[in-house]
């Protein structure tokens, strides 16, 4: 069980590392700050959620 947790943790760290690299690539392409990027990625979801209220 313990080894599984370590393996899961390593897997999650690798996924987070890849996400960070992807975000850096997107940020470099669009310019702007990380906050701008977060808004760019989440705004459509927020609008859809608001419309479904």
The whole-angstrom separation of Cα 17 and Cα 23 is 10
Q: Are 30 and 36 in contact (CB under 8 A)?
A: yes
The structural domains of the chain, with segments of one domain joined by +, span 2-51
Check residue 18 and give its pLDDT. Answer: 92
Q: What is the pLDDT of residues 21-52, one digit of tens each?
A: 888 888 788 777 877 777 877 888 778 777 87
The whole-angstrom separation of Cα 39 and Cα 22 is 16
Check residue 6 and give its pLDDT. Answer: 66
pLDDT above 70 (res 9): yes
């Amino acid at each position: 069980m313990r080894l599984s947790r370590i393996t899961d943790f390593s897997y999650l760290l690798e996924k987070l590392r890849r996400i960070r690299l992807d975000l850096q690539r997107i940020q470099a392409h669009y310019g702007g700050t990380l906050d701008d990027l977060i808004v760019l990625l989440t705004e459509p979801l927020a609008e859809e959620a608001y419309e479904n209220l």
